[in-house]
Amino acid sequence: MDKILEKLIAVSKQLADPFYELIILGEGNTSASCGDGTIWIKASGSRLANANEKIFSRVQLDKVMDLLEKDLTDEEIEKGLVATLVDPKMKKPSVETFLHSIFIKEAGIKWVGHSHPISVMSILCSKEGAKPFLQHLFPDEIVMCGEHVAVVPYVDPGLTLSRAVRKSLRDYLDAHGYAPKMLLMENHGLVALGQTPEDIINISIMADKWAKTILGTYTMNGPRYLTKEQANRIETRQDEDYRRNQLSQSLKSK
């Protein structure tokens, strides 16, 4: 089996582990760059909990990006995604292929994990939206999720969402000069962005802890955020960077 696909299967199963409460049923999707202009992406209608080589499709990145520039009907999108397949015998890739391709093509991301943690959704679906995540509460969520997060308001999933994400990503890159580790889609969910499969798990479970902590503070008169200076200090400390790199070591295939 392809080594990248083998690792993607392993991280997908871990992301779908009920212990973490990140996704249920057919929610969520994962992808990985093959380093040759193609990516592995979860097929439409598949469950990450049942991840195996049959639920992933390999698509040609440039063909996916070309579709982003066209004004397509839902039917044309479906046909277009099939046409991006490396092997036409593979299953139709998820409509979120656009979303994943943008991060891999434009930001140099190698691994993408999209999930719907109840804790994170509880905040993103509130009147506060992503606002509580724009400040920090404790060091480890800065280490794992980054000093800054990217945010997208709710839009229709699929091509429309992907174009909104592309704009948010480009704005983020212009503002900070590097790619985000986490993107929050209001009323939708979380996207973890990494260079290793382990990054996807680390970011996702830390985002869950972060969200639960935010919710918990509202039972005690509200959050007491770190200052911007304190947050930046954590982000730039050499010892924290070392720890971050150690925790990002590649996930071993199971």
pLDDT in tens, 91-128: 998 889 999 999 999 999 999 999 999 999 999 999 99
Assign 190 a pLDDT band (cuts: 50, 70, 90): very high
Q: Please tell me the total count of domains within the chain.
A: 1
**Residue 9, C-beta contacts closer than 8 angstroms, at least 6 positions apart:** 51, 52, 53, 56, 253
Assign 252 a pLDDT band (cuts: 50, 70, 90): very low
Going by C-alpha positions, the residue among 220, 221, 184, 223 that lies closest to residue 204 is: 184
The proportion of the chain whose per-residue pLDDT surpasses 70, expressed as a percent, equals 95
- What is residue 52's predicted lDDT score, i.e. its pLDDT? 93
Q: Which residue has the tokens 């939708």?
A: 188
Cα separation, 140 vs 146, whole angstroms: 9
252 part of a folded domain: no
What is the DSSP pairing of strand 182-185 with strand 189-194?
Answer: antiparallel
Mean pLDDT of the chain: 91
Assign 239 a pLDDT band (cuts: 50, 70, 90): low
How many Cβ atoms are within 10 Å of 65's Cβ, its own excluded? 17
> Degrees (nearest 5) of the Cα angle 48, 203, 96?
45
- What is residue 227's predicted lDDT score, i.e. its pLDDT? 94
Cα separation, 9 vs 91, whole angstroms: 16
83 part of a folded domain: yes
pLDDT in tens, 157-183: 888 899 999 999 999 999 999 999 999
75 part of a folded domain: yes
Going by C-alpha positions, the residue among 154, 168, 103, 100 that lies closest to residue 124 is: 154
Q: Is the dihedral of CA 163, 164, 169, 170 positive or negative?
A: positive
Is the CB of residue 143 less than 8 Å from the CB of residue 210?
A: no
Domain, as residue range, for 174 = 3-247
76 part of a folded domain: yes
- What is residue 55's predicted lDDT score, i.e. its pLDDT? 92
Here the CATH number for the domain that contains residue 14 is 3.40.225.10
Q: State how far Cα 216 lies from the chain centre.
A: 24
Is the CB of residue 177 less than 8 Å from the CB of residue 147?
A: no
Cα separation, 45 vs 93, whole angstroms: 9
197's tokens: 């499969």
What is the DSSP pairing of strand 150-152 with strand 182-185?
Answer: parallel
pLDDT in tens, 42-64: 998 888 998 999 999 999 999 99
Cα separation, 123 vs 131, whole angstroms: 9
196 part of a folded domain: yes
As a whole number, mean pLDDT of residues 12-20 equals 94
Is the CB of residue 103 less than 8 Å from the CB of residue 136?
A: no
161 part of a folded domain: yes
- What is residue 245's predicted lDDT score, i.e. its pLDDT? 73
> Degrees (nearest 5) of the Cα angle 4, 7, 236?
95
253 part of a folded domain: no
The pTM (predicted TM-score) of the whole model is: 0.91
209's tokens: 């802890």
Q: Is the pLDDT of residue 82 over 60?
A: yes
Give the three-class secondary structure for 33: strand
227 part of a folded domain: yes
- What is residue 253's predicted lDDT score, i.e. its pLDDT? 38
As a whole number, mean pLDDT of residues 81-89 equals 94
- What is residue 194's predicted lDDT score, i.e. its pLDDT? 95
